[in-house]
Structure 1
């Protein structure tokens, strides 16, 4: 589905006339993604990684990753999950990731 068709589907204008705008948010962010990055994001999302840990692994701004997640949830490509953006895994001190079930008392 192309961007124009998707924008119309969700009831938003497909194009914006920039002369009418006073401010454009997040201009310094990069919103383009490679297929490999998206596949890595999907894997980490399903494994329960927090958005900040996904961003660190992908070497991206947490806002960029959050926007991609919102986009993919809106398109039903990613599903909501327990823990939401915070996930269900806890990072270890040495940069590894531990599943919550291993931290249970």
Structure 2
């Protein structure tokens, strides 16, 4: 399958999936110590993303050990999917920041997602 077609599809799908995860987390009871449900949910979704990318990165390096010397040239399907999934997460998170009106108070997150 051509990576040029798969990448944008995976990015959009992952954006939707992270949105579903976010809405699902809100349905479960939160710890009593939680004062800010938005922050709790945002942190949970971020944890899911970082766990997936951490495991995905291990898989990428296992499949293409030459990536330890050159991160740019070796493009494998898993590495392409990983970048596409992360792009979807960044799009989801920036959209969530604007929809929940948190972008102004969390400008550093917006900047982080735009620059990454």
TM-score (norm 1): 0.34
Name the structure where helix makes up a greater proportion of residues. 2
The structure, 1 or 2, with the larger RCO (C-alpha pairs under 8 Å, 6+ apart) is 2
Q: Which protein has the larger Cα radius of gyration, Structure 1 or Structure 2? A: 1
